[in-house]
Structure 1
Amino acid sequence: MLQTAPGLPVLRKSVGAIGALVLIALGAGPAVADDAAPGLTLGRIAPIDGVKPGSSFEVPVTFTNTGTEAVDKIWLSYSVTRGLGHTELPSNCVRYEVASFDEAPSSSDAVCEFDQTVKPGVVYSPEKPLSLKALDHALYDDLRVVVSTYENGPGDGASQPVRGTGPAVKLVERPDAAPAGAGSSAHPDWDAAEVAVTAANTADFQVTADRLKGRVGDTVPLKVTFTNAGPAWVLRDLGTPVTQVLIKMPAGTTVTKGNGFCDSVAAGRYACGTSQSWVDEGDGETYTFKLKINKVVSGAKGSVALAGEPRPFDKNKANDTTDILLDTAGGGSTGGDNSTGGDGSTSSTGGTGSTGSTGSTGGSGTSSAGSSGSAGGSTTAGDSSTTGSSGTSTSTDGDLASTGSGSALPIAAAAAGALAAGTGAVLMVRRRAARR
């Protein structure tokens, strides 16, 4: 029976320990002391940088039995995010494909069984390191390695296992390697390591916006899109949106219906997040609004811009911004010199509902990410990976409105407002934070 999480055996041992205490309290202590026990500790695996898409690389894995008794059988498992793949596996390994769920991206998992004795105090490794390949869309990816005394297979959502076709691989002793110290693993029957894998690749983030047309008094739809044109996918820290899209509405308009992924940060200005903490190549988000044209403001226009977080993978900055032009009957296009104007409104209402997927399409998953808080662009695939949380969001039922402002607040000020508006509920910090 496959176990779905390395923590389960720890729970069983905790229950056993409680039972032992009960026996002692009753005057009947356990017959065997717990001193003789296995212990598994992985050696350090360095981050893997600069991998070229389409190339393969090996994963050097060592571990020590830090316990006081031999182990009859162990398992090594390797889980990689979607930018990486497994090459030919040995016949003593099986592979699973695991679909994305909740806030976790999809993965490909290989579990290898080694039916041989592992002696205490000795360092072991597979006689041939497991090989992985960087796919064309690799960029910031994760590798998780687990050594355990039990079969550590994936849980629900995994495909049927496919057995490897290569020659079986055995464990060999590494007398030249320094063994890990006793008690160096917090859990005696398993240990895990998270490894950052960075590919030499790029991803082109870009934004577009509809050109609006209508008469004074009309309510018109506005569609703004964020797209990752690739070729790489981009994975951020868990709880962090991939980026933020800053939207300034044309002066003389009022937002009558907002978007669930967007927070109002000032009059006529919005900061929009992403549905997950990753975006696949060719994917993105669509933000829809409804605007009422209150009056013609000469020379006014709106704008869309990606937030200013560092994106070293994005070499094309020309498509990071675009204008929102408004053609009004009898007044011509309002797009021009971006001069000030407006209808005099000074307040904006963003609604108080929790962020959700209402009014947003695209994205890479179903769990919504708030637009408030840092977009996490300065992080890299670091220590441990999904969606940016937010505070309040704009109302999506049309009850409240936000008036477009013609004053030319800098994009940086809008970004600062977004940071102040959101609660930034980050679930956990991934190891990529040290690298992106």
Structure 2
Amino acid sequence: MRDTTVRRWLAGLGATGMLVAVASPASAQAPDATLFVKFPNSAVAVDHDGTVQAPELGASKQVELQQVKVTYDLSGLTGKVTVKEAHGNDYCTPTGNTLVCELPYPLGLDEYGTEAHFEVELAAHEDAEVGDEGTLKVSFGAEGYETVSHQAKIRVAEGVDLVGGPEDEVSVRPGATFDGPVTVINAGEKPAQGVAADFDLDRSLSATQRFSNCLYRDDILESCVFDDVLEPGGTYTALLPFTLRTDTFAPGSFYNSVRWMTQADFEDRTAQARVAGTKGTAGKLALTKVNNVSRKGGQTDVDPENDTSGFIVKATGDNGADLVSLGDTVTGEVGDVVTATLGALNEGPATLDSTRGGGPVTNIYFNVPAGTTVVAVPEGCNPLLPDGGGDGENPGAPGAAAYHCYTKSLLVKDERQTFEFKLRIDEVIANASGKVEINVDCRCEGRTSDLDASNDVAQILVNPTEGGGGGGLPVTGASTGIVAGAGILLLAAGAFGFVLARRRRTRFVV
């Protein structure tokens, strides 16, 4: 079940990358930067191996930290839960009732945080009993920064083993309703005293009924809690009613992934959530009914690696989308700084959604008009070097002759995304134009075609002599921004890394 390993690995890469980007020492950081630390509430099973958890470390702004220290105060867990360093990195030293962990190298952080450091293993003490609980205090500090702390509830629970059922497939046309099955198996030797399902659905799957034991974000199903008792060896299924949105791209594949967990693990996951959804008002969504078994206290899953199930929805038919390149017309005198707005418009009829993979809907190339200089670059745009490579060391740097911009991952029908470039007019050239091209075949994520390729190129027109036209005006000819070779592969890697670092679809934020 745990998907944190990959995420922590990626976060570690991001943190390492920041060490390159941040050139000034910690002492030069702005004094208003503050640190934060979070640690998840957790349950550990008696008579089972421990569970590995990590603190989330972050800062209110991008910083480079020296002499990073995390301290675990174990005094609230004496005789109940043991805590030790995981993976044998030798960063931590037991000292009385504390576990003091120090990082031997600088750490770059920002407001997105990282869980790539100071993992610990939590395990039930040999004398612990189901129902025991205590508090783990985690403190985080660094040279020149005030130490901050967070307290997490750690409890001892009975161990069960939930397994996600097989993946199903449903084929429907956009606009049709259907029931999607989700299945869970109790593979352990003890009854599971209720379960919870945490859903991760694509936008195209719209819930048609809002059950009272489930939470929703608008019409997107977030989670459900079932009080049913799952007997050992039993298989249980719930049918979820959905509509495949009329603006769903077809043909295509869309997904519902569900993670099954005990009610205690679900409570821990949501205890400190800022947004967990809105409860439905209809009847309860139910699993197969069984006789109740008396509770013995909280339960936790001893093998969370196999807890996911779900289904795939195959959207049939033909429902595409037309992306339109957007340009602009600007005027000014020598020395003026003007704003040129460029971007892409989705004219539908389908919504374009690449959030599952995390990449942009499309890529945009902008060739700067002659006689002008870019003095301010919007977020999401990076300069192209003359050899076609991306200037990865100076993302968003001004003064380049061409730029690569990537859109967000979701562009619904009739929605546009624009980027504002600040251009300084160095020389007044009548009808100076720059090219704006979408669906660029740059060997990177993002679509390269749509329903109508004739509107994929527009222009930024500077000081037109007659009526001239920017926004959406097609321009013929090959794109001067499309280049080949190793340089473009570097650009692709940079764009992908930026998007992946920004993408973190986490429903429960602690």
Compute the TM-score of the two structures, normalised by the length of structure 1: 0.60
What is the total number of aligned residue pairs between the two structures?
A: 328
Checking the alignment, whether the CA contact within 8 Å between 1:65 and 1:119 is kept in structure 2 is yes
Please name the residue that 1:212 is paired with.
330
Aligned to 1:272: 405
Aligned to 2:283: 165
SS of 2:483 mapped into structure 1: helix
Amino acid at match of 1:221: T
For residues 184-223 of structure 1, what are the structure 2 equivalents within 5 Å? 186-187=303-304, 191-193=307-309, 195-200=311-316, 201-216=319-334, 218-223=336-341
Partner of 2:424: 292
Cα distance change of structure 1 residues 9 and 198 upon mapping to structure 2, 3 Å threshold: farther
Matched, 1:123 2:202: no
Give the CA deviation at 1:45: 1.1
The one of 444, 457, 471 equivalent to 1:321 is 457
Relative to structure 1, the CA distance from residue 131 to residue 327 in structure 2 (aligned partners, 3 Å threshold; closer, same or farther) is same
Q: What is the CA-CA distance between 1:85 and the residue it aligns to?
A: 1.6
Q: Residue 418 of structure 1: which of 454, 471, 491 is its match? A: 491
Which residue does 1:71 correspond to in 2? 192
Which residue pairs with 2:215 in the alignment?
95
1:143 lines up with 2:256 in the alignment? yes
Secondary structure of the residue aligned to 1:165 is coil
Name which of 188, 204, 212 aligns with 1:83: 204
- Matching residue's letter, 1:242: V
Q: Match for 2:413 among 266, 275, 281?
A: 281
Q: Which residue of 1 aligns with 2:353?
A: 234
* SS of corresponding position for 1:259: coil
Matched with 1:347 is none
Secondary structure of 1:132's aligned partner: strand
Distance 1:185 1:248, change over 3 A: farther
Shift of 1:67: 0.7
Whole-angstrom CA distance in 2 between matches of 1:12 and 1:72: 15
Q: Distance in 2 between matches of 1:419 and 1:193?
A: 32
Q: Equivalent residue of 2:379, what SS?
A: coil
Q: 1:144 to 1:423 in 2, by over 3 A?
A: closer
Q: 2:177 aligns with which of 49, 53, 56?
A: 56
Q: In structure 2, the residue corresponding to 1:211 is in which secondary structure?
A: strand
Query: Matches of 2:128 and 2:327 in 1, distance apart?
Result: 73
User: Which of 217, 226, 232 is matched with 1:113 structurally?
Assistant: 226
Q: Does 1:303 align with 2:367?
A: no
Could you tell me whether the CA contact under 8 Å between 2:44 and 2:124 is conserved in 1?
A: no
Distance 2:337 2:216 in 1: 50
Deviation at residue 150 of structure 1 after TM alignment: 0.8
From the superposition, tell whether residues 314 and 164 of structure 1 become closer, same or farther in structure 2 (CA, over 3 Å). farther
Worse overlay, 78-87 or 149-158: 149-158
Q: Any idea what SS the aligned residue of 1:255 has?
A: strand
Give 1:238 shift.
5.6
Q: Which residue of 2 aligns with 1:132?
A: 242
Counterparts of residues 254-273 of structure 1 (less than 5 Å):
254-266=373-385, 267-273=400-406
Q: For the Cα contact (< 8 Å) 1:262–1:271, is it kept in 2?
A: yes
Does the C-alpha gap of structure 1 residues 89 and 285 become closer, same or farther in structure 2, counting only changes over 3 Å? closer
In the TM superposition, 1:349-360 aligns within 5 A as none
Q: Which has the higher strand share?
A: 2
Give the fraction of aligned pairs with identical amino acids, expressed as a percent: 24
1:18 counterpart residue number = 82
Q: Distance in 2 between matches of 1:212 and 1:88?
A: 50
Q: How far apart in 1 are the matches of 2:352 and 2:81?
A: 46
Aligned mates of 1:65, 1:420 — CA distance in 2: 42
Output the amino acid matched with 1:294: D
Q: Does 1:247 align with 2:358?
A: no
Following the alignment from structure 1 to structure 2, what is the Cα–Cα distance between the partners of residues 294 and 423? 34
Equivalents in 2 of 1:211, 1:195: separation in Å?
Answer: 48
Structure 2 residue matching 1:318: 3-state secondary structure: helix
Q: After superposition, what is the alpha-carbon deviation per residue over 1:233-259, rounded to whole angstroms, capped at 9, x for unaligned? A: 413356533322110012232223332
Where relative contact order (Cα < 8 A, 6+ residues apart) is larger, the structure is 1
Q: Letter of the aligned partner of 1:134 in structure 2?
A: L
**What's the offset of the Cα at 1:202?**
2.4
Unaligned runs of 5+ in 1: 1-6, 99-105, 174-183, 340-406, 432-436
* C-alpha spacing 1:88/1:294, structure 2 compared with 1 (3 Å): closer
Measured in 2, the distance between the counterparts of 1:324 and 1:29 equals 70
Verify the 8 A CA contact 2:193 2:230 in the aligned structure 1: yes
Decide whether aligned partners of structure 1 residues 11 and 205 sit closer, same or farther in structure 2, where only a CA change above 3 A counts: farther
1:73 and 1:29, CA in 2 relative to 1: closer, same or farther beyond 3 A?
closer
**In terms of mean alpha carbon deviation, does 253-262 or 74-83 score higher?**
74-83
| 2: CA distance, partners of 1:124 / 1:420 | 43
Q: Which moved more, 1:207-216 or 1:296-305?
A: 296-305
Instruction: Output the aligned Cα RMSD.
Output: 4.6
> SS in structure 2 opposite 1:424?
helix
TM-score normalised to the size of structure 2? 0.52
**Do 2:354 and 2:360's aligned partners in 1 also have CA atoms closer than 8 Å?**
no
| Alpha-carbon distance between aligned partners in 1 of 2:162 and 2:179, rounded to the nearest angstrom | 22
Distance 2:417 2:446 in 1: 20
Q: 1:291 Cα shift? A: 2.3
Residues in 2 aligned to 1:322 and 1:191: alpha-carbon distance in whole angstroms: 49
SS in 2 for 1:229: strand
Contact 1:125–1:172 (Cα < 8 Å) also in 2: no
Does the 8 Å contact 2:343/2:416 carry over to 1?
A: yes
SS class of match (2:413): coil
Contact 2:324–2:455 (CA<8 Å) still a contact in 1?
A: yes
C-alpha spacing 1:87/1:35, structure 2 compared with 1 (3 Å): closer
**Distance (Å, rounded) in 1 between the aligned partners of 2:245 and 2:491:** 35
Residues 246-287 of structure 1 show CA distances to partners (whole Å, capped at 9, x for unaligned) of 10012232223332322111341011123x433333333221
Letter in 2 for 1:187: P
In structure 2, what residue type is equivalent to 1:223?
T
Structure 1 match to 2:343: 225
Q: Give 1:408 shift.
A: 7.4
CA distance in 2, matches of 1:159, 1:328: 52
Q: In structure 1, the residue corresponding to 2:82 is in which secondary structure?
A: helix
Q: Is the 8 A contact 1:136 1:232 kept in 2?
A: no
